[in-house]
Amino acid sequence: MKIQSKNILLNGSWNYVTDFGSKYSYAEIQKLIDQNLKNKITVPSNWECEGFHNFNGSIWFATNFNVKSDFTEDDISVLLFKGVDYFADVWLNGKNIGKHEGYFQKFAFNVSKSLKHGNDFLVLKVTSPRETPGEVWPLKKKLIKGIFNHHDCRPGGWSYEFGQDQNTGGIWNDVELVIGEKVFLENVKVGSAISANKEKAKITVAASYLNNISRSITSKIKIGVINSGKKILQKEFSVNIKPKQDSFSFSFEIENPKFWFSWDTGKPELYQLEISSELFCPRVETFGIKEVYLDADQNFYLNGKKLFLRGTNIIPTQFLSKLSSAKINKLVSDIKAANINAVRVHAHVNRKELYDEFDKQGILLWQDFPLQWTYDNSKEFAQNAVAQIKDMVRQLNNHSSIAFWCCHNEPGEQIETLDKLLYAAVLSEDNSRIIRLASNFEEHPYDGWYWGKKEHYAATPMGPLVTEFGAQALPEISSLKKFLSPKAISKYDWKEWEYHNFQFDQTFNIAKIERGKNVGEFIKNSQAYQADLLKTATEFYRRKKNNGITGIFQFMFVDCWASITWSIVDFYGKKKSGYKALQQAFKPLLLSIRLRQDVYLPEAKFNSDIWVINDSHKLFKNCSLSFIWKDKVLLEVTNFTIKENDNKFFFWESLIFYLPKEMKYGRNKIQVLLRSKETILDQSELAFLIVAKK
């Protein structure tokens, strides 16, 4: 018998009652809602986006719905919540059906016995509190919200007074009623293991479920596997379905599998698994087949190919309800266009649609658990964190783009305590990916911003795998005017600037960025500094490829709110100069030149070193390097090969030539071309001065 079910979205305009001190009981809520029927709030949405500015506490959400059905007592009815921030307490028709803690997880309740199938009344008490500054926040936090509760790129930054502004609480994702199935699949986890000869892949499927049945029954599970629009496999399995809540699993093999690769190493092949039964409606899960690992030197391998990670960090939004499909597509496309092959989802879990797009476009992910700096040291907090990190791994497991799980960002000493528990929890759920205890301070070089000078990147600090580096830059004036008052811009009201994350001390006393005559010059100088730092750092690190540096993640790609941060794309989508600088420095085949000298006497010997860095697995033969001035070839190095995934160095002694006497005093330029036969692979322009001998 074919299962007939209904999936009913309960999104829309709900009633609400605010509860500042969490003082109301459920018994009082019905009356309060009836007295305030004009109070409407949109579901899904974060409540800050609905006009509840800086609201910390509880909001009671309520809605009525009518579902007429002929379903039997054996059928299961489930309320599915795809995202509620942070504590949820749920009543249906006056009965408390359950609670949940966390902001990113899907969760579901069996409401078969509570549903009336007509004039049903659903109430959620959603609580997102402000943690007590100085006592709990920021060093002993208890809410597992990562950057949504504490970060230098969110409203108010580090400030005790303002650092928890613009609370992200609310029902930020869909609320759905699922009725008419005998069994409700809560989660379907797909794993793969590739044979040694890579001719087969073993696919393991594990599904957890809810039901109302009173005895164990045997069910026929049918599967179909689709790749590139073609069904390549059909099978049937017998599984034992147990009463109430349990799971089943099965496995099968795919012959001659097509692997998921990053965009710069191959094609991101994706499979679709169709799973159906006489007990539940067809379910489709998308997955990829891949193998990742780090060797003893921290070199990253994808399907046996060594890959240098050209990465960035992202916090795409402060409010997950506002991250639309169009914004996601634009974000991921801009990331790929910047020659980035890996992204660190920085200290938070995002929407499913974002991960889908990374899967599709072939960009590797480093997925952080939402822990930012330090937290409560209690056993109770550790148990909560362990449970939530398992939820994260189960929920995101099928996304082929994810290559790393990371338990904590900058945990300090908690890397030795809490993070070891989290590591074990992740390992118990998934041993197919790379697991990191943390991304800690010792792999976050901020030379030229928090200390030192950008030239210090010549020492390639904090490798081999650098997970943060960068500098702030102001957005362009049209963006700045959208969130700073005219007075703050013209009179430099630094308090207003700093609320929007601007760092005064680092900007003027470490980076030594010149303010200029007006804000326009300040913006130009700020963006030029960030661009130069990113180019300098990135090229120094990439020159050490295959010699101690295995990957780098710039911090960060885009602003999550209207602010002044380390981003190279501002909140309004405007690219800073740093975007182009990173895009150029991240080219998979890069001609990187170090001018040993940028001021010369007439007819002097030119002084430079060159690296040709090839991140691709393509061989280039019959290559040449040409130094050209005004169509005159000053030097040509010919007939060399650029090997796959290589780093070729040309020492200055192999690049000797003298500046022509026709060159005039002042600024001059030489063009450098890298060719394979007649094809230009990359090019660069070298600027320098010629001065008189005084």
Domain regions of the chain by residue span: 6-180, 182-289, 294-470+534-585, 589-690
Quote the pLDDT of residue 694.
Answer: 79
Mean pLDDT of 477-495: 97
Quote the pLDDT of residue 2.
Answer: 55
Q: What is the pLDDT of residues 593-652, one digit of tens each?
A: 999 999 999 999 999 999 999 999 999 999 999 999 999 999 999 999 999 999 999 988
Q: Using CA atoms, how far apart are residues 565 and 570, in angstroms rounded to an integer?
A: 8
Q: Which CATH superfamily is domain 294-470+534-585 in?
A: Glycosidases (3.20.20.80)
Q: Which CATH superfamily is domain 182-289 in?
A: Immunoglobulins (2.60.40.10)
What beta strand segments (E) does 138-174 contain? 170-171
- How far from each other are the two terminal CA atoms of the chain, in whole angstroms? 97
Is the pLDDT confidence value at 691 over 50?
yes
Is the pLDDT confidence value at 398 over 90?
yes
- 431-434 long-range contacts (CB < 8 A, ≥24 apart) are 432/191, 432/192, 432/193, 432/291, 432/292, 433/292, 433/402, 433/403, 433/404, 433/405, 434/292, 434/293, 434/294, 434/300, 434/403, 434/404, 434/405
Q: Using CA atoms, how far apart are residues 565 and 559, in angstroms rounded to an integer?
A: 7
Which class is 6-180 in CATH? mainly beta
Q: Do domains 182-289 and 589-690 have the same CATH topology?
A: yes
Quote the pLDDT of residue 4.
Answer: 60
What tokens appear for 283 in the block? Answer: 């379910």
93 residue type, one letter: N
The DSSP-derived string for 300-328 is EEETTEEE-EEEEEE---S-GGG--HHHH
Q: What pairs with residue 13 in β-bridges? A: 42
Mean pLDDT of 148-169: 96
Residue 250: in which H helix or E strand, if any? strand 245-255
Mean pLDDT of 401-415: 98
Q: What is the pLDDT of residues 648-673, one digit of tens each?
A: 999 888 899 999 999 999 999 999 99
Q: What is the pLDDT of residues 202-252, one digit of tens each?
A: 999 999 999 999 899 999 999 999 999 999 999 999 999 999 889 999 999
Phi, psi (degrees; rounded to nearest 5) at 682: -165, 165
Q: What is the pLDDT of residues 56-103, one digit of tens each?
A: 999 999 999 998 766 667 789 999 999 999 999 999 999 999 999 999
Q: Are 354 and 581 in contact (CB under 8 A)?
A: no
Quote the pLDDT of residue 458.
Answer: 97
Greatest CA separation for the chain: 99
Q: How confident is the model at residue 399 (pLDDT cuts 50, 70, 90)?
A: very high
CB atoms within 10 A of CB 237: 17
Q: What pairs with residue 510 in β-bridges? A: none
Q: How confident is the model at residue 20 (pLDDT cuts 50, 70, 90)?
A: confident
Q: Using CA atoms, how far apart are residues 257 and 202, in angstroms rounded to an integer?
A: 10
- At 130, is the secondary structure helix, strand, or coil? coil
- At 408, is the secondary structure helix, strand, or coil? coil
Quote the pLDDT of residue 3.
Answer: 59
Q: How far out from the chain centre does Cα 75 lie? A: 39
pTM for the complete prediction?
A: 0.96
Percent of the chain with pLDDT over 90: 93
Quote the pLDDT of residue 245.
Answer: 86
Q: Are 566 and 471 in contact (CB under 8 A)?
A: yes
Distances (CA, A) of 182 to 215, 217, 241, 311, 443: 13, 11, 11, 45, 51
Quote the pLDDT of residue 1.
Answer: 46
- At 624, is the secondary structure helix, strand, or coil? strand
Quote the pLDDT of residue 6.
Answer: 81
The b-or-e profile of 122-135 (16+ CB within 10 A means b, else e) is: bbbbbbbbbbeeee
Q: How far out from the chain centre does Cα 48 lie? A: 23
Q: Using CA atoms, how far apart are residues 427 and 303, in angstroms rounded to an integer?
A: 20
User: Any idea which of 112-116, 153-157, 644-648 has the lowest mean pLDDT?
Assistant: 112-116
Quote the pLDDT of residue 548.
Answer: 96
Q: What is the pLDDT of residues 355-382, one digit of tens each?
A: 999 999 999 999 999 999 999 999 999 9
* Helix, strand, coil percentages, rounded to 5, for the chain: 20, 35, 40
Mean pLDDT of 31-42: 92
Quote the pLDDT of residue 693.
Answer: 85
Q: Are 5 and 78 in contact (CB under 8 A)?
A: no
Q: What is the pLDDT of residues 489-524, one digit of tens each?
A: 999 999 999 999 999 999 999 999 999 999 999 999
Quote the pLDDT of residue 653.
Answer: 86
Asked if CATH classification 2.60.40.10 holds for the domain at 589-690, the reply, yes or no, is: yes
Length of the chain counted residue by residue? 694
Q: What is the pLDDT of residues 447-466, one digit of tens each?
A: 999 999 999 999 999 999 99
Q: Using CA atoms, how far apart are residues 351 and 104, in angstroms rounded to an integer?
A: 8
Q: What pairs with residue 187 in β-bridges? A: 208
What tokens appear for 662 in the block? Answer: 């026709």
Is the pLDDT confidence value at 406 over 80?
yes
- At 384, is the secondary structure helix, strand, or coil? helix
Preceding amide of 556 cis, omega within 30: yes
86 residue type, one letter: Y
Average pLDDT, the chain: 96
The DSSP-derived string for 626-693 is EEEETTEEEEEEEEEEE-TT-EEEE-GGGS--B--TTPPSEEEEEEEEEEETTEEEEEEEEEEEE---
